[in-house]
């Protein structure tokens, strides 16, 4: 089936240049960075027309959409959590735009507490977080419009659901940390005064105290600003509300740590760690004893204790020492839960507060367990288990006995026994061993003709662990293969693995991804003609770099909300905070040359590129859409082969969070339709 796109819009070229260390770099599509300009808006409309006209010609597009709607149409629940006299949980009846927050008393009937579907007519205003006061009588929740990172915070009386006081405006990258019922701490930036609200830099985070019943203008600055400028500041209270914990950072890795003893009026904010070389947070406390999770002298992390009266790192004592596997820690039922990551899959152990091992939690299989986080007095807690072939299932866990029981099964139409998921290890270009999990229907013949989606991320210490995807059922039902490698740059093997994919080692990430593709082809899971590569955000950069370096590697590419201009990413929103992973063009001539060489926007040259559908959203204020706009415009210019080069721009949507069910199904429909048609496949 040979569908040709309509002629691409004529994209004008400017003559803007920048000079870095005596190298002049042209940027002909700089004008697309102005998301407010009429010519940018017109370009977006014209590109969307071409994309939708192309997708509209695919005869099985509606077949895929209907199948996805059928698959999605089942009740979905979150694990329950207790606040005051109520147990709360989220539920989506099936195709509702947003999940609804319900609550019920012991033995009572569930009632709607918050319905985000009533926040906006089109379901694109979402609930971006909610936090309850310790006694459960008050709640603060955040609203995101169109997926924006900027939110508004609303405070309500949780008993009668009545709004209290004014709505707080323009909150960003923040939780709501209650202190009693007096008020709460939150973080935000000053709104950009110049340029776009969407792309303007947000560089100095500030922590405020909001006292209930007072206007936001009177909120007290607690930390940040001119005295202590930091790019990211977050705050939370220990469960007993004795300590305010503040973390401060200038990049997405590493943080300073501060505490304030709220039991002593007028006590100062005390610095615990005064550098950003490592990651630390306070997990819990027992009286003045602090429990700190850290990777100081422990690339795979450890749990230490120290007295709050003298909390410097020289006084820290190991409670759970570092080991071969990456450690995270949560608390529930007065216990510590150690979450270990072994080759990107979960192992859980329960300890008492003195560090004595009590139970190894028996999980239903090899996959990902999340949860084990609840209040000290809770005896029964909840966790969710999932894998690529195990739909998300909620389990109830008894802290005393260590016994798990199924609490709520998934209602998705899927038969796990018909599918298999296996982990392989392959060698990257430099000989490094990299794990990859490959999922497919049992009985699939390895003849090189199976449609395969290779998905990865590889950055910021992020772990890609097994999780079930309703959308992927469409691929698996067509005899397809889903493959996820755990590239360097991620955190699956700790900080050493992360650093091996940063700055002037970033090429390792691309090499790991390319080697994964070559492994799949060599072992006849697929071939170039049936291989698609995909990734989002930093993973969008991964896909962009891969197809510019190896345009012949695959048939289809999906770079989503990607970081594509590596010379200017730090000029927008909080992009400067990504420098730990990427480096910047300004920091040295060597770093500039390294970035310039692989920057997807700049690395494009005349070539035959795979069928590519760039995806972004007009409200993305994390990775601004200009990255995708500029890359797509240049890719259309440089494409010398017959494959389509499209950009799909979601309107009234952001970086990914808060999308409505209809938006998700729409994008997944178009992804599979574009992939299958460009592999010459039919879907019935």
Active-site annotation, residues? 537, 655
Check if the beta carbon of residue 90 is closer than 8 Å to that of residue 102: yes
Token pair of 314 as six digits: 């020289």
Residues 375, 239: Cα–Cα separation, whole Å = 8
Token pair of 22 as six digits: 């005596």
Token pair of 177 as six digits: 């940390």
Instruction: Calculate helix-pair angle for 626-638, 38-56, nearest 10 degrees.
Output: 60
Residues 485, 434: Cα–Cα separation, whole Å = 7
Task: Please enumerate in sequence order all residues whose Cβ is within 8 A of that of 10, keeping only pairs 6 or more positions apart, or say none.
Answer: none
Task: Please enumerate in sequence order all residues whose Cβ is within 8 A of that of 24, keeping only pairs 6 or more positions apart, or say none.
Answer: 17, 18
Residues 373, 79: Cα–Cα separation, whole Å = 11
Q: Are strands 256-261 and 243-249 parallel, antiparallel or unpaired?
A: antiparallel
In 428-569 the beta strands, taken as DSSP E runs, fall at 433-441, 452-455, 481-485, 531-536, 556-560
In 105-200 the beta strands, taken as DSSP E runs, fall at 111-114, 125-132, 138-145, 150-157, 168-172, 177-179, 183-188
User: Whose structure tokens read 């949560």?
Assistant: 330
Residues 334, 239: Cα–Cα separation, whole Å = 11
Instruction: Calculate helix-pair angle for 38-56, 661-678, nearest 10 degrees.
Output: 60
Strands ordered across the beta sheet of 345-351: 326-332, 335-342, 345-351, 357-360
Residues 101, 85: Cα–Cα separation, whole Å = 16
Measured at the CA of 344, the angle between CA 236 and CA 663, to 5 degrees, comes to 70
CA distance to 80, 114, 373, per residue, from 380 (Å): 11, 25, 11
The H or E element that residue 72 is part of is helix 61-72
Residues 140, 212: Cα–Cα separation, whole Å = 11
Measured at the CA of 642, the angle between CA 641 and CA 648, to 5 degrees, comes to 105
Q: How many CB atoms lie within 10 A of CB 428?
A: 22
HSE-up of residue 34 (Cα within 13 Å, Cβ side): 11
Residues 480, 473: Cα–Cα separation, whole Å = 9
Rg (CA), the chain: 25
Burial class (CB in 10 A: 0-12, 13-18, 19+), 433: exposed
The H or E element that residue 548 is part of is helix 538-549
Residues 30, 324: Cα–Cα separation, whole Å = 47
Check if the beta carbon of residue 74 is closer than 8 Å to that of residue 413: yes
Check if the beta carbon of residue 351 is closer than 8 Å to that of residue 338: yes
Task: Please enumerate in sequence order all residues whose Cβ is within 8 A of that of 609, keeping only pairs 6 or more positions apart, or say none.
Answer: 547, 551, 557, 635, 638, 639, 641, 643, 645
Check if the beta carbon of residue 426 is closer than 8 Å to that of residue 433: yes
Residues 171, 194: Cα–Cα separation, whole Å = 18
């Amino acid at each position: 089936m040979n569908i040709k796109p309509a002629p691409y819009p004529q994209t004008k070229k400017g003559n803007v240049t920048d000079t870095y260390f005596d190298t002049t770099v042209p940027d002909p599509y700089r004008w697309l960075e102005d998301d407010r300009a009429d010519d940018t808006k017109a370009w977006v409309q014209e590109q969307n027309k071409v994309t939708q006209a192309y997708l509209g010609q695919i005869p099985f597009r509606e077949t895929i959409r209907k199948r996805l709607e059928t698959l999605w149409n089942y009740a979905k629940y979150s694990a329950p959590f207790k606040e005051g006299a109520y147990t709360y949980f989220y539920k989506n009846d099936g195709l509702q735009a947003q999940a609804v927050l319900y609550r019920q008393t012991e033995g009572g009937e569930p009632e709607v507490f918050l319905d985000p579907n009533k926040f906006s007519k089109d379901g694109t205003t979402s609930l971006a977080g909610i936090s309850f006061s310790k006694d459960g009588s008050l709640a603060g929740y955040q609203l995101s419009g169109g997926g924006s990172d900027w939110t508004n915070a609303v405070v309500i009386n949780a008993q009668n659901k009545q709004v209290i006081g004014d709505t707080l405006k323009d909150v960003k990258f923040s939780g709501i940390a209650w202190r009693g019922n007096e008020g709460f701490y939150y973080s935000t930036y000053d709104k950009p005064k110049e340029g776009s609200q969407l792309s303007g830099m947000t560089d100095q985070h500030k922590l405020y105290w909001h006292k209930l019943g007072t206007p936001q203008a009177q909120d007290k600055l607690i930390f940040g600003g001119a005295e202590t400028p930091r790019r990211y500041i977050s705050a939370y209270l220990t469960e007993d509300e004795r300590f305010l914990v503040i973390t401060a950072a200038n990049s997405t890795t590493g943080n300073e740590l501060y505490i304030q003893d709220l039991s002593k009026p007028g006590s100062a904010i005390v610095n615990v760690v005064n550098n950003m070389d490592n990651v630390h947070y306070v997990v819990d406390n027992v009286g003045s004893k602090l429990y700190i999770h850290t990777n100081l002298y422990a690339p795979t992390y450890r749990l230490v204790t120290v007295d709050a009266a003298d909390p410097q790192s020289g006084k820290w004592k190991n409670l759970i020492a570092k080991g071969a596997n990456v450690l995270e820690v949560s608390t529930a039922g007065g216990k510590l839960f150690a979450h270990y990551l072994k080759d990107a899959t979960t192992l859980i152990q329960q300890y008492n507060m003195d560090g004595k091992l009590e139970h190894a939690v028996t999980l239903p299989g090899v996959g990902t367990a999340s949860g084990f986080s609840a209040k000290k007095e809770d005896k029964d807690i909840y966790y969710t288990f999932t894998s690529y072939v195990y739909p998300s299932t909620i389990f109830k866990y008894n802290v005393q006995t260590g016994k798990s029981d199924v609490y709520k099964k998934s209602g998705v139409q899927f038969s796990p026994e018909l599918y298999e998921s296996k982990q392989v290890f392959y060698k990257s270009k430099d000989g490094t061993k990299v794990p990859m999990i490959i999922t497919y229907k049992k009985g699939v013949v390895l003849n090189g003709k199976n449609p395969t989606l290779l998905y990865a991320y590889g950055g910021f210490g992020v772990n890609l662990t097994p999780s079930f995807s309703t959308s992927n059922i469409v691929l698996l039902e067509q005899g397809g293969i889903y493959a996820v490698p755990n590239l360097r740059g991620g955190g699956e093997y700790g900080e050493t693995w992360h650093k091996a994919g940063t700055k002037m080692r970033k090429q390792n990430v691309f090499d790991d991804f390319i080697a994964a593709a070559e492994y799949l082809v060599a072992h006849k899971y697929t071939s170039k003609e049936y291989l698609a590569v995909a990734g989002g955000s930093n993973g969008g950069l991964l896909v962009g770099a891969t197809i510019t370096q190896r345009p012949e590697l695959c048939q289809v590419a999906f770079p989503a909300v990607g970081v594509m201009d590596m010379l200017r990413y730090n000029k927008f929103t909080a992009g400067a905070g990504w420098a730990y992973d990427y480096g910047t063009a300004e920091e040295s001539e060597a770093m500039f040359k390294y970035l310039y060489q692989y920057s997807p926007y700049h690395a494009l040259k005349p070539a035959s590129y795979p069928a590519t559908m760039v995806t972004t959203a007009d409200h993305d204020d994390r990775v601004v859409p200009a990255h995708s706009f500029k890359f797509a415009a240049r890719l259309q210019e440089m494409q010398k082969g017959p494959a389509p080069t499209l950009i799909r721009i979601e309107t009234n949507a952001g970086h990914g969070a808060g999308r409505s069910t209809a938006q998700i199904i729409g994008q997944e429909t178009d992804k599979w339709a574009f992939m299958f048609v460009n592999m010459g496949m039919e879907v019935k």
